[in-house]
Structures are given as C-alpha cells and as structure tokens.
Chain A
Amino acid sequence: MRGPDVAWYLAVAAFLFATGALGVLLRRSPLIVLLSLEIMLNGANLALIAFSRLHGESSGQIFALAVMAVAASEVVVGLGLIVAIARKRLDLDVDKLSFLRG
C-alpha cells in the first residue's frame, strides 16, 4: 500500500500549525483562541505521527498521546479561566484583559 510520502503529511501539519497560529494571533474571543491552540497542537501531533511512521518507531505515537493529555489539561484550565472571567462580568476579549489582579 503506497500512499503519499511523509513529506505530504508534514506539509499538511505545517499548514495546520500556521492556521492555528493565525487564529491565536488574530482572534480576540478567548474561546476561539483556545480552539486555535488545539489546531496548533494537532498539527504538531500529525508531524509526530508522520515521523513515527517514517522511522517505524512507536515512540512518536506515545509522544502524540502525551500531547493529547496535555491539550486536555490545557482546555480544562483554559475553560475554567474563561468561566471565571465571565462570572466577573468582564469582557471576553483577550485585548482588554491586560491585567491579572482580581
């Protein structure tokens, strides 16, 4: 079964990472910033799994699973922060959240 080369997968991973970076830099809603972060992490995951296939080595997939666990924790903490911000009746706008004191 000969499919596309690993280089094609890496190109998709690079595009995904750039799309996520664009979202993180461009959007002001913290929810969409978190979603864009997920896209960046998934681009990195795709590269890890592509390299794991290239070398025939399972360690890359282990790393991808660890990245997924970190992404889940990041979403939990991020959503907790966003809910806390919303409870304080602050604007959900990352440009306006320039101070951290409560």
Chain B
Amino acid sequence: MANVLVWAVWIVAAFSCLASGIAVVSFSNPFYSAPALIGNLASLAVLYLLLSAEFVAAGQVLVYAGAVMVMFLFVTAYLGGRADAPWAGGPTWQQFGAVLAAGAILVEVIVVIGLKAGGRLSHEARIDSGFGSPHRIGRVFLTDHLLAFEITSIVLLVAAVGSVILGAHSRRSDTTGDLVHSEEAGARP
C-alpha cells in the first residue's frame, strides 16, 4: 500500500515537473514563465523529499521558489512583460538546430545512463532515518566540505558586489533615461 502511494506521489510530481518545465520554455511572456518555474521548483522539492533529502527540499523552496523567483518577478515587472513569440514566422534553421541539439542531449544522457549504470541503479544503499536531515547535512558541510562552504560564501559575496557595480555603472553611464537623470540630480544637489 505504501508502495503504491509513493509511486502515485512520484508520478504526480514528475509529470508536473516536466509539464511546468515545458511551460517555462514555451510561454511567450516571461511573466507567465516565472510562476511556471515556481511550480517546477515545488514539484522538484517533492521529488527531493521522496529521495529523503529533506534539508535540500526545504532550501529549494526557501532559496529558489522564495528569494530567487521573487527577484525574477520584480525584474520582469520592472522591464514590463514583453512578449517574444517563440514560433513567430515559422520555424527557422536555428530553431530546428536547437530542437535537434536538445534531443541529442536527451538521447545521449539516457543512453549513457542505460549503458553504463543500467544494472546498478536498482540497489539503493540502506540509509538510517537521519539521512538528509539538517543535523547530518550541517555536520558534513562544516567538517568534510568546509572549503566548499567557504568558497560558496565567497562566490555569493562576489556576485552581490558585482551586481551592485553593474547597477551603479549602468546608472552612471546612462544619460538618456529621464528617470535616472532626475534620480542623479536628486542625489547630488
């Protein structure tokens, strides 16, 4: 019975994951794509839970579906949802090539998985109930993977500083925008 339930949850999560991924790619307006990606991330969190990665699932919802996507929606709202019809004017050779390349990646990955690891993928290791818990993850992160932890924090810091510099530079060099101009004038009386 529990078996059937796990399969049912997996099927629902996997299909909503794939469907929302296709929706992100095919919506013409980024304002609809962003909520579709939130659905994608939420159903991925369900898959992570099924793989007993509780902490990563929580982090996924908090960091991705929370922080990153809110920022995305703000920027989309700031720029205005400009529609960009993906299939306008019939398929070009470029789009044909894109579909071909994506299909090639898919086939390649599946063939490699099937050939290289086919038989070994059904013997999952036995795990205890603490696997994937915040306690376990925190312990491994701050002992064995301390260097990765520190490098991650440096990467985040560099990204934040770089983004501030990008924003400041574009504000300084832009002399045509009226809004920007008045802001600068207000800042330097």
In-complex Cβ contact of A29 among B82, B95, B125, B159 (8 A): B82
Complex contact A11–B110 (CB within 8 A): yes
Closest residue of A by beta carbon distance from B102: A22
Chain A interface, DSSP helix/strand/loop, else mixed: helix
Complex contact B99–A22 (CB within 8 A): yes
In the bound assembly, the distance between CA atoms of A19 and B156 in angstroms comes to: 27
CB distance from B164 to the nearest CB of A (A): 8
Complex contact B17–A16 (CB within 8 A): yes
Complex contact B72–A17 (CB within 8 A): no
> Which size bracket describes the interface of B in this complex?
35 or more
B12 at the interface (CB under 8 A from A): no
B187 at the interface (CB under 8 A from A): no
CB distance from A46 to the nearest CB of B (A): 6
Bitwise, A62-78 to B at CB < 8 A (1) or not (0) is 11111011111111110
Chain B interface, DSSP helix/strand/loop, else mixed: helix
CB distance from B59 to the nearest CB of A (A): 6
Bitwise, B74-93 to A at CB < 8 A (1) or not (0) is 01101100101010000000
A88/B132 contact (C-beta < 8 A), A15-B18, A22-B99, A62-B141 known: no
In-complex Cβ contact of B24 among A5, A39, A75, A89 (8 A): A39
In-complex Cβ contact of B144 among A12, A16, A59, A102 (8 A): A59
In the bound assembly, the distance between CA atoms of A50 and B47 in angstroms comes to: 9
Complex contact A3–B68 (CB within 8 A): no
Complex contact A7–B122 (CB within 8 A): yes
Question: Chain B residues near A80 (CB, 8 Å)?
Answer: 162-163, 166-167
In the bound assembly, the distance between CA atoms of A51 and B61 in angstroms comes to: 21
CB distance from B165 to the nearest CB of A (A): 9
Complex contact A87–B171 (CB within 8 A): yes
Nearest 7 pairs between A and B by C-beta? A56-B125, A73-B159, A25-B98, A84-B170, A3-B6, A18-B106, A22-B102
